[in-house]
Amino acid sequence: MTHAKALPSYLVKRYQGWKANTYEANASWYRKLGEGQHPRAMVISCCDSRVHATELFGVDQGEFFMHRNIANIVPPYQPDGGQHGTSAAIEYGVTALKVAHLIVMGHSACGGVQGCIDMCEGNAPSLEEKESFVGRWVDVLRPAYAKVAEISDPAEKARELEKVAVLESIANLMTFPFIKERVEQGDLSLHGLWHNIAEGGLEAYDPATGDFKQV
């Protein structure tokens, strides 16, 4: 393997600092984690470098089973024998780890959501190309875009689609038979969140009102 390079020195130093301080101060806890994981919740969030669910909730390692992808999308159940990373993570979290809560968390200024808007409005020809992995992935959001297409203000449209996309993902979760069964049995609850990065805000979907409300 000639293409892989050595880890950047700044990351090496950061790891060594973590190992000497955080790990050494909690070595017994990490050894316990090494024996297996028992998270109570699974979080599906965006790959965006500014989004950290563990930091928002102040959770320790082992508490959240995490999956991150472009625009925190959950595709519909599609058992076609293909390679489905997000669906595989969901299957493992729900059937193997048996998490009690499954959270989909969107966020402000989401590049994936904006990409969907640009594509749907004919402003992103590169995403329309069949070779675009991002374009084909955010195709999942096209039905959600139809619900915000008439909003004239670009910022308002993006923010609304970020929230509608969370609800579309929750609806898609219910197309998975093993999720539908556990939800109906009361063993699993689904939750929708939207995080305002700039303001540090967190809104949760309230099924009673059909709106996102500040936590």
User: Would you state the structure tokens that stand for residue 68, as one six-digit string?
Assistant: 């991150």
Model confidence pLDDT, tens digit, residues 43-60: 999 999 999 999 999 999
Burial class (CB in 10 A: 0-12, 13-18, 19+), 68: middle
Give pLDDT tens digits for 84-137.
999 999 999 999 999 999 999 999 999 999 999 999 999 999 999 999 999 999
- Mind giving me the DSSP string for 82-93? S--HHHHHHHII
Q: Tell me the pLDDT of the chain averaged across its residues.
A: 97
Over residues 18-30, the mean pLDDT reads 96
| Whether the predicted pLDDT of 2 surpasses 90 | no
pLDDT band of 171, cuts 50, 70, 90: very high
- For residue 1, pLDDT over 90 is answered with no
Q: In this model, does residue 25 exceed pLDDT 90? A: yes
CA–CA separation, 213 and 215 (whole Å): 6
Work out the average pLDDT over 26-42. 96
